[in-house]
Amino acid sequence: MKDIFIVGVGMGNINTLTIEGKNYIDKAEVLIGAKRMVKAVNAGNKPFFHSFDGNEIVNFIQSSNYQNYVVLMSGDTGFYSGTASLLPMLKEYEVKVIPGITTVSYFCSKIKFSWEDACLLSLHGREENIVLAVRQHIKTFALTDGRIDMMCRKLTQAGLGFVQVYVGENLSYENERIIKGTAVEFQNSDFAPLSAVFIVNPDYETQYHIGIPDDEFIRGMVPMTKSEIRAIILSKLKLKEDSILYDIGAGTGSVSIEMAFLAKKGRVYAIEQKEEAIQLIKKNQDKFQIDNLRVIPGTAPEVMEKLEKPDMAFIGGSKGNMEDIIQSLLNKNPGIRLVISAIALETLTEVLRLMKEFEFEEVDVVQAAISKTKEAGSYHMLMGQNPVFIISGRGKTS
């Protein structure tokens, strides 16, 4: 039986390797990993295989005659590491995982910050809503690919140019550099590809309320789902932090924006046909600096074909394609959570018929008739909005 050890090598400098990790490396017959990591730890000139591709690593282990392998992983094996994807591929072997020192641990020791209350992200080959993270946390740490100037421009455009940004370049190496400045100061600076950032925002938001006030959105002449109705829709969607959502017939994008705020680790696809509305969605996206929102021009269900599988969807407008849209959503995810708004009784009737035909479960109908005060001299009068039906349900899962 071949013995396989996955070792976290820390920052890359041999001095950040744990004693346990070094012991397994010393005993290994062959080392596997990226070139810079193998070079850093291979003082004894052991046989090696340069690769960080899981399939290549497994093929090498299967085809070679060594009995003791060490696979090197940068940083810690449990922090944005290839270990998670490699382990299932090695299930036929006995594998031991030896953790290493994380970049966040090393970096925070250098700048003398604790990090138990920090939001931890990776912008290295990943999409993350850094603006939202910085808005909502006093501390944010992120691994990067060096494009810190772009990140700082986004923060500045979102009104967060004042936040303190610590940049750690080439951490643990001889050319290590740690500098401090604001997002404004760093938005035109160049940094090394091996860089990490630690951002401090003393004015972070301590809470988020569902139902952004209507007058905070750029409106134009496109109909918009009002604040109170939006709040009901969001509650019926039952979305999670990492949900994938469609907003079909997105209008000004008010529902899309609120979805994106709540599904901060997920993605929102705003599907809209009208050019004026598409431009409004983009303007509102820029205003609120939402990174996890994608605007999809065109008509549903045609433009949904190449989109990733949704967990939930909201239909605010169907252009007469309600049945085809629902069928397409169910094809993508039979257990999808679906919420639909309707003003006309005919739309309500059609939706209920379709939910019955498609055997939806947990079907619920709410009628919301919102009235809001309006000043008339020294008096306040209630002005009624159009009643709205909100229909929700879940696709049949068995």
Q: Is the peptide bond before 213 cis (omega within 30 degrees of 0)?
A: no
pLDDT > 70 fraction of the chain, expressed in percent and rounded: 99
Residue 340 and residue 368 in contact, taking contact as beta carbons nearer than 8 Å: no
For the chain, list the domains and their CATH numbers.
3-101 (3.40.1010.10), 104-200 (3.30.950.10), 214-394 (3.40.50.150)
Give the per-residue pLDDT at 97.
Answer: 97
3-state secondary structure of 379: strand
Give the per-residue pLDDT at 382.
Answer: 85
Residue 15 and residue 175 in contact, taking contact as beta carbons nearer than 8 Å: no
For the chain, what is the mean pLDDT? 92
310 pLDDT above the threshold of 90: yes
More confident residue, 205 or 310: 310
Range 362-370 average pLDDT: 93
- In which band, very low, low, confident or very high, does the pLDDT at 298 lie, cut at 50, 70 and 90? very high
pLDDT, tens digit, 9 for 90 and up, residues 215-235: 999 988 888 999 999 999 999
Give the per-residue pLDDT at 291.
Answer: 86
206 pLDDT above the threshold of 80: no
Give the per-residue pLDDT at 290.
Answer: 87
316 pLDDT above the threshold of 90: yes
pLDDT, tens digit, 9 for 90 and up, residues 132-153: 899 999 999 999 999 999 999 9
- In which band, very low, low, confident or very high, does the pLDDT at 205 lie, cut at 50, 70 and 90? confident
| Cα 218 from Cα 280, distance rounded (Å) | 7
pTM: 0.77
- Three-state SS string over 131-186 comes to HHHHHHCCEEEEEECCCHHHHHHHHHHCCCCCCEEEEEECCCCCCCEEEEEEHHHH
| Cα 335 from Cα 360, distance rounded (Å) | 9
44 pLDDT above the threshold of 80: no
In sequence order, the 6+-apart residues with CB closer than 8 A to the CB of 272 are: 249, 250, 251, 253, 278, 281, 295, 296, 297
pLDDT, tens digit, 9 for 90 and up, residues 249-295: 999 999 999 999 999 889 999 999 999 999 999 999 988 888 899 99
388 pLDDT above the threshold of 80: yes
At 357, the amino acid letter reads E
Give the per-residue pLDDT at 385.
Answer: 82
390: β partners:
341, 366
- In which band, very low, low, confident or very high, does the pLDDT at 124 lie, cut at 50, 70 and 90? confident
Give the per-residue pLDDT at 6.
Answer: 96
Angstrom CA distances, 68 to 37, 86, 90, 190, stand at 18, 17, 14, 42
